[in-house]
Structure 1
Amino acid sequence: QKYKDYINSSNRQFEVQAIINNFIYGSDEVVEFTVEDMLTGGDELTLGTVIPAKLSIKIKTTSAIPANAKIVPELRLNGAQGYTEWIPMGEFHVDSRQYQNGIWTFSCVDKLITTEQPYVSNLTYPVAMSEVFEEILEILDIESGVVINSAFQIPYKDESISIRDMLSCIASAHGANVKMNREGELIFIPLSPSSPVATITASNYIRAEQTNPQKSYTKLEVIHNAEGETLSRGTGSEDNTLKFENRFMFIEQNQLNYAFSIMNGFSYVPYSMTWTGRPDLDVGDAIKIVLQDATEITSIVAVNKLSFKGGVLQQSSAPSKSEQQSEFQFQGSISKQIAQRLVKDHVYNGVSFGPDYGVRVEDSAKYMRLEMNALDGYKMYLSDDAGNSWEAVFYIIVEDGKPRLYLGGNAEFQGLVKASEFLGGKIEIVKDGGLERYIIDETEGFRCQRRDSPEDPWEDAIWMQDGSANFTGVITGGIIRTAASGARIEISNNQIKTYNSAEQLQGFATNNEGQQYGDVHVYDGDVVVFEIYNNFFGDGVSLRPANGAGLSIGANGHNTRFYGNVADYIWHGTQAQAEAKTDWIDGQYADIEGSKASIGDVINFSLPENVDGSTLTFQECGNRFNEIGYLCNLLTNRLNVIINYLTETTEEMEVDPNL
């Protein structure tokens, strides 16, 4: 009683909650929701519809909502006498979701969506219709209190029928349509005369209008085969005829008789209304509407959309074609011609349509087939055996809310192809001439290949293997760096350079700029400190310190040797060659082959000139000191020979005392 007192109040107050997998989200978390439900998806009522209800709900939460979670939105009213009971708006399951600004939006459907699957029956036919119904409920894991007419049967097994189509045949045999109730149970809603359960006045609606004259059904017509052949019961014009499909009624005409007995005399007034709403009303309920001019019309809730966002707003309607549309068979628009002429599964110049596959286009040789439907999207099939087996080679489907294109064979694209992601497969690009190609393959990785002629096998030129890049042939142009910045080696612009972490040249670098081909520099903090200078014209190279830097050759504890002539300073040769040499340079050193001192040799050192105190230049003094140093080195070498000789003799005497 509290609900009846509150529902028509001008200041009614709603409270909302959503139960998601048995967890309750309250008014602070449920932002808004909309429930859409209908008995018909077209502009005429019919029998045997199986249309899932939809829910869109926004919830402010950080909780993880599982995939395919069950959501039950509920409303209740509050007033002077306290709260009413919660009114469930149906049971729905999450189909997709979006997240924005801390709010999740869930798009959901009820369990009738699961009827869109092939009906694989284990029963033996013909079989009682009740057994088929029970088998379907078990497959779908749905409960139902519907009682099936015990006299009805399914006469044969249809291997191609879906669960949805089988339920449609069962429901239409009972003069009804299929829905899910608020508790998640499957129910039948018959189209039969009934009394209104609610009266809606001008104070309840924002806009209400009658859209067509009253519709009364006195004739029932069933299309029972692919050729469009029909059976009918009752009499009346096209406007008074209720049409539907049922493939079994040609055999089981008692079902047609029963359905006619249920709907005969059913009438309603087509309308469209936006109003404050009644959350307790269901599609199929009969209602009375008092129009602005006080006219009363009786109709049904055939299409219903209830939205909650703090308050409730409802849009309800019952559609119909006008009598002129029903009777005047004008051959006008393409859509009307199709509606008047197309028959299920009939082939029109290679094109057919049917409930199992949608729209199909097939060539006469049964080599190629195209199919389009809401479940599988767009698919192209090829057959190599006159249509006995088909393979999908091209199709577009929707996965996770995104369209996806699949290619099962070769494809040629012209113009620009854009993509954000490629997953799997192989991409191969062959350059004009057929001598170069580029491959991206999920197993072989990235490869650039070449060959000398179109008849030769392909050879790898650049490829990735075990995380490393491999190259063969010639690499021309560009920049090669061991690091993007900082300490690195860089090859570019005909140069090789090394850098330190401060982005300064450090160590080895070539100098091939201008006419300096062949020079090598050594840098210290961007400053050249040593050069290997190419003298050109067969004159060898020069080793040159630079920018005030020193040059040291050799290391303590290690021998440093020179071979051949050290030009302009140390001459190397035999004693005879030295005696014959006439182009000596003043102060030049000579290394005489075989000139070894022995024990007992007398070593004579000639004194440098000008030791008598005559004036010497700084350069001459330097030369004399160099000569003295050289002679000291010779003396040291001779003394080392003597020491080595004495050491060996002493060791031998310790072994042989007779020496």
Structure 2
Amino acid sequence: MYPISPIFADYIKRRDKTYKVKALIDGVEYTSANIVEFEIENILAAADEFEIGTAIPSKLIMKLRLPDAIKPNAKVIPYLALSLESMTWLDAKYPWQDMHIPWATGMTEWLPLGEFYIDSREKINDVWTYTCYDKLIMADVAYISQLNYPASQKAVFDEICSRIGFTYDSSVVINSSYQIQAGPAGYTCRQVLAYIAGANGASIYMGKDGIMRFKRFSAGEPAAVELTTADYIRVKQLNPIKTFTRIVVTYNTEDGLTYEAGSGDENHTLYLENPFMTQAQVNALHVRLNGLTYLPLQMTARGFPQFDQGDVIGFEQREGGSWIDTNVAWQDMHIPWDGIMRYTTYILRQTYSFKGGLTHKIEAPSKSDQQSEFQLEGGLTQQVNRLNQNTVRYGKPYFGVTHSRTEGIVIEREDHKSKLTLNSDKMDWQVNGRSSLYYDAQANRLKFTGHLEAATGTFSGDLSAAGGTFRGTLQGVDGTFSGSLQAATGTFSGNLSAAGGTFTGTLQGVDGTFSGTITASNISGSTITGSTLRTAASGRRIEIDQSGLRIYDSSGRERISVDSADGNDMGGLYLSGPSGSWSGTLIGLGSYLQLLASSSMMLAALGGSIYLQGPVHFTNGSSVTGLSLSIADISGLRSELESIKSELRNHTHTVNIGTHNHGNTANQNWGGTFTTSRP
């Protein structure tokens, strides 16, 4: 219901009210001097029954007295207001701060009656008759989606609204978990919008302000307004009160495939068509609508332009009678003492007609109990049904073969264990619901998850495999194997590149490049050229690369290395201690071999001898400790030393010191030759 001011709500119920009308057409305002009459039709249910999931454009027929025609597709906004010229101060019972009434014009606010666009026109004498529809008519274009599917219903809804230029308010609530599995080919934008609304328990309409809205139905909705017997002229009940307890949704109209929730007979069943719904969505819809009740009727009201299609209205009706005419048992009599019964219903259709005054027709149609149970087919319906039975149709399986707009040719077993889909973009062979053989034409990629056996084969491109066994001969120019490749035997004459693989047979190749990991029990060959060879990835290991050879302990510390330095014309063996610090080096130079130690050095021969061949030189400052004459292991050294000792003991020699007087001639000259004593 469109919001109106309190004074508008009061004056719309007065019998002496006077209407004012105007229309804004293509930005130009036309008054009652130009407007002869108009009629607005709002429909939420087109069939003779309650419906959900509809998007029906509202219709405006306006007659204008104009000299010239208005251009095609011009926007038309009719307005209606109420005159306040007869209002006195005694009638001014409204709070001052809540009134937004222009004193100069003496009328209420202008109420918009919708935004429409001219579709057709005709002229009789000097009066133009324009037939217009609201913006929903612009959604009658084919929907070609740019989304990737599966996609959420919210994303699809927003894509359509963005493309057509629709805006919507907070009443549009779409379950974020609801999805559309494949692009909805063959549908218009309006159909897709309606299907999405229906899945979420709503119908679509354009509000009086031109903004899209959802009418969300639910059981037990309270009335938005209560009408008294003075607010309508007549009301005609069409059928007994209608209640829905069961929902049947047809998701495949050609084969009549349905989802169902709830229980009840035909008269209590709500039928829908929606190709996007699932069983879970039908169950959720049933929870929302179970017990929805309304009174089927036709009502001629005094005119309430603020009403929207889908509004719940309550009304009262006198149904009392005289006592003499009453033949119902006392306990079965359910009439109030004042004789007025109160009902609620939905505005499923309404028509406003303005010809100086405003008339308002409200309808809430329904099928009778007999129409629900026994549906008679006319001649045309029988022919259409017969054509449907004998025509090859999309989505209908013929001995396992189905033609589909979205998938192409589909071949499927009755037990659904295998399914083959063929179209211009892909070939998908599924087994137990999983793709076993898949070809993507756009990416030019073939995927196979099963067991591949070949007697021979030539692969001229790149071969990627998650796993496979090749029992024949596999020839390839090059290839990348990202998975596991197992072969009993094979000859590879090209380049073989593999991230990983297990070869249980014989692998022969002229050459090959392995950019991944090679795992083998034994490798026999004459030459292996590579960057690094190691016995383990970490911990205790030996590594060989271009720099040399290194040995690591269990803690990953380098203990021994063999390196060469071509620039220094040297190479050596380098030793490290348990802490990883340098311990010693054996270096081969151009002129000599050098043995270095970071601290002390010990040469020991356990159970043998140490032989030094050639001269031994001790540099300045060197000292030798630990040697004594008691060490008999120095062959001949003791006897040689004893001989030297004996000679020293028996040795004498002469010394000539010359004669001298210490520089004093008075002294007697002293000196001469003397013989030494023995030691």
Residue aligned with 2:388, SS: coil
Q: Distance in 1 between matches of 2:34 and 2:354?
A: 13
1:317 aligns with one of 360, 363, 385 = 363
In the alignment, what sits opposite 1:156?
A: 182
Which residue of 2 is the match for residue 114 of structure 1?
138
1:177 Cα shift? 0.9
Q: Which residue of 2 aligns with 1:550?
A: none
Per-residue displacement from partner, 1:525-561 (whole Å, max 9, x unpaired)? xxxxxxxxxxxxxxxxxxxxxxxxxxxxxxxxxxxxx
User: Structure 2: how far apart are the matches of 1:337 and 1:56?
Assistant: 32
2:260–2:279 contact (8 Å) kept in structure 1: no
The aligned residue for residue 605 of structure 2 is none
CA RMSD, 1 decimal: 2.4
Q: How many Å apart are 1:178 and its aligned residue?
A: 1.2
1:220 counterpart residue number: 247
Deviations 1:389-433 (A, max 9, x none): xxxxxxxxxxxxxxxxxxxxxxxxxxxxxxxxxxxxxxxxxxxxx
Where does the alignment leave 5 or more consecutive residues of structure 2 unmatched? 1-5, 93-105, 320-339, 396-679
The 8 Å contact of residues 175 and 258 in structure 1, kept in 2 or not, is answered as: no
Confirm whether residue 47 of structure 1 aligns to residue 55 of structure 2.
no
Q: Are the structure 2 counterparts of residues 352 and 108 from structure 1 closer, same or farther at C-alpha, using a change threshold of 3 Å?
A: farther
Distance 1:190 1:216 in 2: 17
Report the Cα distance in structure 2 between the residues aligned to 1:335 and 1:269, rounded to whole angstroms. 32
Q: Deviations over 1:161-208 (max 9, x none)?
A: 221221122011111111111111111112223211222233232321
One-letter identity of the residue aligned with 1:334: G
Contact persistence 1:190–1:262 (CA under 8 A): no
Q: What does 1:249-648 correspond to in 2, within 5 Å?
A: 249=277, 252-293=278-319, 294-327=340-373, 329=374, 332-334=376-378, 338=382, 342=385, 347-350=388-391
Q: 1:245 aligns with which of 261, 269, 273?
A: 273
Q: Secondary structure at the match of 1:295?
A: strand
Residue aligning to 1:23: 28
- For residue 216 of structure 1, report the CA deviation from its aligned partner: 0.8
TM-score (norm 1): 0.50
SS of the aligned residue for 1:310 comes to coil
Q: Which residue identity does 1:78 align to in structure 2?
A: S
In 2, Cα distance between equivalents of 1:15 and 1:335 = 50
Distance 2:318 2:393 in 1: 48
CA distance in 1, matches of 2:23, 2:392: 47
Q: Which runs of 4+ in 1 moved over 4 A?
A: 335-339, 349-354
Name the amino acid aligned to 1:229: L
Which of 9, 12, 16 in structure 1 is aligned with 2:14? 9
SS of 2:197's partner is helix
Q: Displacement of 1:85 after TM fit?
A: 1.2
- Contact in 2 for aligned 1:215/1:240 (Cα 8 Å): yes
| Cα drift, residue 352 of structure 1 | 8.3
Q: Which amino acid aligns with 2:311?
A: D
Q: Secondary structure in 2 aligned to 1:347?
A: helix
Equivalent pairs, count: 348
Aligned-partner Cα distance in 2 for 1:25–1:353 = 52
% identity of equivalent residues:
38
Structure with greater Cα Rg: 2
Cα deviation, 1:49-95, whole Å, max 9, x if unaligned, reads 12111000011223552210000111011231642211111100000
Aligned to 1:205: 232
User: Which runs of 5 or more structure 1 residues have no equivalent in the other structure?
Assistant: 355-659
Q: Which amino acid aligns with 2:238?
A: T
Counterpart CA distance in 1 for 2:239 and 2:394 is 31
* Counterpart for residue 156 of structure 2: 132
Give me the whole-angstrom Cα distance separating, in 2, the residues matched to 1:71 and 1:272.
29
Q: Is the 8 A contact 2:303 2:359 kept in 1?
A: yes
- Aligned match of 1:173: 199
SS of the aligned residue for 2:389 comes to: coil
- Note if 1:38 corresponds to 2:58: no
Contact 1:221 1:232 in 2 (8 A): yes
The match for 2:519 is none
Q: Using the TM superposition, give the Cα deviation of residue 270 of structure 1 relative to its aligned residue in structure 2, in angstroms.
A: 0.2
Alignment correspondent of 1:94: 118
**Contact preservation (8 Å) 1:47, 1:243:** no
Q: Which residue of 1 aligns with 2:263?
A: 235
Instruction: Report what 1:56 is aligned to.
Output: 61
Distance of 2:136 and 2:20 partners within structure 1:
28
Measure the CA separation in 2 of the matches of 1:228 and 1:333: 17
TM-score normalized by structure 2? Answer: 0.49
The question of whether the paired residues in 2 share the 8 Å contact of 1:174 and 1:262 is answered with: no
Give the partner amino acid of 2:364.
A
**1:65 equivalenced with 2:93 (yes/no):** no
> Amino acid of the residue matched to residue 236 of structure 1?
G
Cα distance in 1 for partners of 2:195, 2:156 equals 11
* Aligned counterparts of 1:140 and 1:165: Cα–Cα separation in 2: 14
